[in-house]
Structure 1
Amino acid sequence: MMPFLLAEFANMEPILPLYVCCVGSHEQKRLSRPGGYPAHQIFLSRSGRGSFRVEGRGELTLTPGTLLVLPANVPHEYAPDGSDGIWDLGFVAFDGSAAGPLLAQMSGLVLSVRKAADFERLWSQLESLWHLVHLNGENAYWELSKRMYAMILSVLEDQYPGQKERGSIRRSGQPNAALQTAVRLIHDHYHERLLLSNIARSVGYSVQHFQRLFAASYGISPQQYLLQLRMRRSVQLFREHPGIPVAKVAELLGMETSYFIRMFKRTYGKTPKQYLKAEDG
């Protein structure tokens, strides 16, 4: 999960032709926006099932691997379907002087649910945007603009599948299949005592080369990626299991208790107990 992040650009909006407003992913709950949202949005449905109700367009159902482009200021509401109510939905909102023309280029996808031809690549780009906002804040505005544009181009490729590039040249700055496999390994085994050397070896790279490629594609090191994943999961565990001991959470994350507390405080500015007390208050 990538908790909602608001991108703060201070006075950069008049300068940047394209900028990110917010980005994230979570287990989506019912949300109603009778006045719409003030920026254009791209939604990616990773798991579960949910529906958008858009004024004048009826119900649009998103299943795993689908995407939806929603223009600014269009009244809508959305909610998970099914008895379990679980719907993992990713989103990014964007605006700027170039946003309107780019949205026009995506006209075939606007307010229309489409199966993504390369969903994992789009999701990796979404993660890359989130990490840039999370780690760098205002210092990332130029790079965020570039990566937002790259993601929109990737969405366009799904609209025109017959026009995709052919050949073996990989797109610059996009995670390759080996890196995507490495990310899946991290997500599948974050609760174990993962060694960077083992991850690198499993996808066929030396540790040094793996670190360089990972940082170039995701904007952070694999160690930082793993740590952030564990920290986000720790907050989920505390919320899902009130009263769970800190040592138990550390154990479930594959971390020593003292190291976990130190990293939690570095990430959130509070120890786990201080963090939970502030939430309860």
Structure 2
Amino acid sequence: MLPFLLAEFANLEQVLPLYVRVIGNHAQRHLTRPEGYPAHQLFLSRSGRGVFIIDGQQKIQMTKGTLLLMPADTPHEYYSDDPNEEWDLGFIGFHGTAASPMFAQMNELLLTALPVSNFNQLWEQLESLWHLLHSSGESAYWEASRRVYGMLISILENQYTDRRTGKTTITSSQSNAALQTAVKLIHDHYNERLLMTNVARAAGYSVQHFHRLFVASFGMTPQQYMLQLRMRIAVQLFEDYPSMAVEKVAERVGMDTSYFIRMFKRTYGTTPKQYMKK
């Protein structure tokens, strides 16, 4: 693990086009930033899985080997999504006059979980950057600026190359059609015990490949998509039938009552009964 490192800029903030504010990695715990963070951020998920909630609405599921680019001052919170496994999350917070133009160029890649074929290389660069800044010295910050720029260019090149060659769902009509088949199956059977192995098989992929394609296209896992669908339908049922019992709504969306209540509160910040009172 690389401890949280807050960089000392040596009065170079006004000079460097890119500079690191913070860097590190650890087993991520629940963190809430309602005002966002005053720097652009790059997150790398090395193991486990976790969830980012953007501005209280957009939910992004990160799994092993994915990255997330987040603009400065974006309200968010994030937490581990698996109580049985640590979520090893690396992060770099950076700013500078070149940071916003770079993110503008990478606009399509922002605020989505991106699987990357060169993940190990990016992780090694993060570790190398941490050790560089930990050594201090003014020259380290000039070199850090070059390396952050190199990492961003590497991410942009990787995504562009994969999309151009059809390695991701964005430029592959065949993959998109298969995913639409999977999504239709989820919508048709959301209230049943639907195994994702069967959904992957219906889409024509192995479970692992289907999972990667789904995350790349929707920014969340198939299981998370199913949960969000169930929650939306539950809210609609509460609004259409105010007198319907919580147990009945849970049954209608195919969930055990206690699990339904727990997931509803996690999603909306309130229990179903409190939600109905509002």
Q: Please tell me the residue identity of whatever aligns with 2:93.
A: A
* Counterpart in the other structure of 1:245: none
Cα root mean square deviation, aligned: 1.6
What's the TM-score, normalizing by structure 1? 0.56
Q: CA deviation at 1:11?
A: 1.2
* Counterpart in the other structure of 2:84: 84
CA distance in 2, matches of 1:24, 1:137: 18
CA distance in 2, matches of 1:85, 1:31: 17
Matched, 1:108 2:108: yes
Q: CA deviation at 1:62?
A: 0.3
Say how many residue pairs are matched: 164
* Counterpart in the other structure of 1:9: 9
CA distance in 1, matches of 2:78, 2:154: 25
CA distance in 1, matches of 2:7, 2:106: 23
* Counterpart in the other structure of 1:41: 41
1:66–1:119 contact (8 Å) kept in structure 2: yes
CA distance in 2, matches of 1:36, 1:129: 24
1:43–1:90 contact (8 Å) kept in structure 2: yes
* Counterpart in the other structure of 2:143: 143
CA distance in 1, matches of 2:85, 2:138: 35
Q: Please tell me the residue identity of whatever aligns with 2:43.
A: F
Q: Which runs of 5+ in 2 are unaligned?
A: 165-278
CA distance in 1, matches of 2:159, 2:105: 10
Q: CA deviation at 1:86?
A: 1.0
Q: CA deviation at 1:56?
A: 6.2
**Residue 32 of structure 1: SS of its match in structure 2?**
strand
1:8–1:137 contact (8 Å) kept in structure 2: no
Q: CA deviation at 1:105?
A: 1.5
2:56–2:76 contact (8 Å) kept in structure 1: no
Q: CA deviation at 1:108?
A: 1.6
Q: CA deviation at 1:158?
A: 2.6
Q: CA deviation at 1:83?
A: 2.0
Change (3 A) 1:143 1:77: same
CA distance in 2, matches of 1:22, 1:148: 12
* Counterpart in the other structure of 1:62: 62
Q: Which runs of 5+ in 1 are unaligned?
A: 165-281
Q: Please tell me the residue identity of whatever aligns with 1:156.
A: L
Q: Please tell me the residue identity of whatever aligns with 1:131.
A: H
Change (3 A) 1:105 1:21: same
Matched, 1:71 2:71: yes
CA distance in 2, matches of 1:8, 1:119: 27
Identity percentage over the alignment?
Answer: 56
Q: CA deviation at 1:163?
A: 8.6
CA distance in 1, matches of 2:162, 2:87: 31
CA deviation string 1:224-257 (max 9, x = no partner): xxxxxxxxxxxxxxxxxxxxxxxxxxxxxxxxxx
1:7–1:137 contact (8 Å) kept in structure 2: no
CA distance in 1, matches of 2:89, 2:74: 19
Matched, 1:132 2:132: yes
CA distance in 2, matches of 1:61, 1:84: 17
2:129–2:147 contact (8 Å) kept in structure 1: yes
Change (3 A) 1:112 1:122: same
CA deviation string 1:95-154 (max 9, x = no partner): 000001111111121001110121001101111110111112544111011111111111
